[in-house]
């Protein structure tokens, strides 16, 4: 047991700092920082696979991107996903979290959620813990285009002919967006519920006393109060809209099909690298993707910035 009054010397202090940072930093630099920097370098080469010989080709890969129809199709799909997926997920989640936290009206003078809200939160959140790859296989079976697919069987009960959910090029991307929304909603229900729980109950009760109906309560009171959380959710889902790799790779027909109708940049990056071994071209696509994601993040933060309501 050391009881002496030992003021830690600067040397010990620096020794400690270095010993604690060395391994984490080394690992992070070798397996994260350096691959990312090398990717930027690769984007200007004609590197193929793991072959050590390659030449610098300047901006050739990027000029090729501009003429690549599949690249532009993928960018367009990100645009569609970016508009639809966050909006649908957030609206549905806001609606449900409102019902589950405030929709029950007043009980004993306090605002409360509808009956069974604890149960609903547990059920709605579950898709979030399933791996996207598993969700993809699950929905492959559900969305089978023939009359024996489960969704088509259910629709047949109300007289709808079998729908080619994933094989109809006009529909396939929307089907994939639907599955992404299916998985995302529960997460945001829980997130918004936490946001609503942190708002003092008196605010809602005062509004209800003043005669605010449920629509006013929802649009004029609840949404402004948790706007900060909604904004975070928007950024998070927006960034997710630039991913979608696992879902498209597993769920869509022909990996991004039919006829590239559902392809996304991450899928093309992966395909260029590991199906065609065009490491240089694939990395150039990676740079384009990073550029898109960072542009989106910067724009969103600028546009949605709004005074936070303190309470």
Interacting positions 52-91 with other proteins (CB under 8 A): none
Residue 206 sits in the site that holds other proteins (CB under 8 A): no
- Alpha-carbon span 82 to 88, nearest angstrom: 10
Q: Binding other proteins by CB under 8 A: which of 57, 85, 90, 250?
A: 250
Give me 113's structure tokens.
Answer: 């959620």
End-to-end CA distance of the chain: 49
Q: Which of residues 122-181 bind other proteins (CB under 8 A)?
A: 122-134, 136-142, 147-150, 153-154, 157
Residue 110 sits in the site that holds other proteins (CB under 8 A): yes
Residue 194 sits in the site that holds other proteins (CB under 8 A): yes
Give me 277's structure tokens.
Answer: 């071994």
Nearer Cβ to other proteins, position 31 or 66? 31
- Alpha-carbon span 154 to 111, nearest angstrom: 38
Closest by CA to 238, choosing from 158, 281, 300, 169, is 300
Piece in contact with other proteins (CB under 8 A), picked from 6-14, 57-65, 166-174, 300-308: 6-14
Residue 287 sits in the site that holds other proteins (CB under 8 A): yes
Question: Which residue do the tokens 């300047």 mark?
Answer: 58
Q: What is the DSSP string of 202-271?
A: HHHHHHHHTT--HHHIIIIIIHHHTHHHHHHHHHHHHHHHTT-HHHHHHHSTTTT-STTTT--HHHHHHH
| Beta carbon of residue 160, minimum distance to other proteins (angstroms, whole number) | 14
- Alpha-carbon span 288 to 64, nearest angstrom: 12
Q: Binding other proteins by CB under 8 A: which of 20, 56, 72, 276?
A: 20
Q: Binding other proteins by CB under 8 A: which of 57, 65, 73, 100?
A: 100
Q: Do you know the residue count of the chain?
A: 311
- Alpha-carbon span 275 to 169, nearest angstrom: 23
Piece in contact with other proteins (CB under 8 A), picked from 57-65, 76-84, 218-226, 271-279: 271-279
Q: Binding other proteins by CB under 8 A: which of 59, 219, 274, 276?
A: 274
Residue 199 sits in the site that holds other proteins (CB under 8 A): no
Piece in contact with other proteins (CB under 8 A), picked from 69-77, 217-225, 283-291, 303-311: 283-291
Q: What angle do CA 202, 204, 209 make, to 5 degrees?
A: 90
| Beta carbon of residue 257, minimum distance to other proteins (angstroms, whole number) | 13
Nearer Cβ to other proteins, position 17 or 206? 17
| Beta carbon of residue 261, minimum distance to other proteins (angstroms, whole number) | 19
Closest by CA to 188, choosing from 95, 274, 253, is 95
- Alpha-carbon span 45 to 278, nearest angstrom: 10
Q: Binding other proteins by CB under 8 A: which of 2, 302, 305, 308?
A: 2
Nearer Cβ to other proteins, position 123 or 303? 123
| Beta carbon of residue 295, minimum distance to other proteins (angstroms, whole number) | 11
- Alpha-carbon span 118 to 102, nearest angstrom: 13
- Alpha-carbon span 187 to 121, nearest angstrom: 9
Q: Binding other proteins by CB under 8 A: which of 185, 230, 248, 261?
A: 185
Nearer Cβ to other proteins, position 197 or 303? 197
> How many residues contact other proteins, by CB under 8 A?
119
């Amino acid at each position: 047991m050391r009881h002496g009054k030992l003021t830690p010397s600067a040397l010990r202090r620096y020794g400690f700092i270095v010993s604690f940072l060395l391994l984490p930093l080394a690992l992070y630099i070798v397996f994260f920082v350096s691959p990312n920097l090398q990717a930027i370098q690769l984007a200007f080469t004609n590197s193929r696979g793991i072959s050590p010989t390659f030449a610098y080709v300047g901006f050739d890969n990027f000029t090729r991107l501009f003429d690549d129809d599949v690249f532009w199709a993928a960018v367009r799909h990100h645009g569609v996903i970016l508009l639809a997926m966050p909006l649908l997920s957030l609206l549905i989640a806001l609606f449900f979290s409102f019902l589950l936290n405030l929709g029950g009206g007043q009980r004993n003078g306090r605002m409360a959620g509808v009956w069974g809200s604890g149960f609903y939160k547990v059920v709605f959140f579950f898709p979030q813990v399933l791996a996207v790859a598993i969700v993809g296989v699950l929905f492959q079976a559900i969305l089978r285009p023939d009359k024996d697919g489960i969704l088509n069987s259910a629709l047949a009960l109300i007289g709808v002919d079998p729908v080619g959910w994933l094989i109809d090029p006009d529909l396939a991307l929307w089907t994939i967006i639907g599955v992404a929304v299916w998985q995302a909603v529960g997460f945001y229900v829980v997130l918004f519920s936490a946001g609503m729980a942190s708002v003092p109950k008196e605010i809602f009760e005062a509004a209800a006393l003043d005669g605010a109906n449920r629509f006013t309560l929802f649009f004029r009171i609840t949404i402004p109060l948790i706007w900060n959380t909604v904004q975070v959710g928007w950024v998070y889902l927006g960034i997710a809209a630039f991913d979608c790799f696992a879902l498209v790779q597993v769920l869509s027909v022909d990996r991004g099909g039919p006829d590239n109708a559902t392809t996304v940049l991450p899928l093309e990056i992966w395909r260029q690298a590991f199906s065609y071994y065009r490491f240089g071209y694939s990395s150039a696509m990676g740079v384009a993707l990073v550029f898109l994601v960072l542009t989106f993040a910067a724009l969103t933060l600028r546009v949605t910035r709004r005074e936070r309501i303190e309470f």
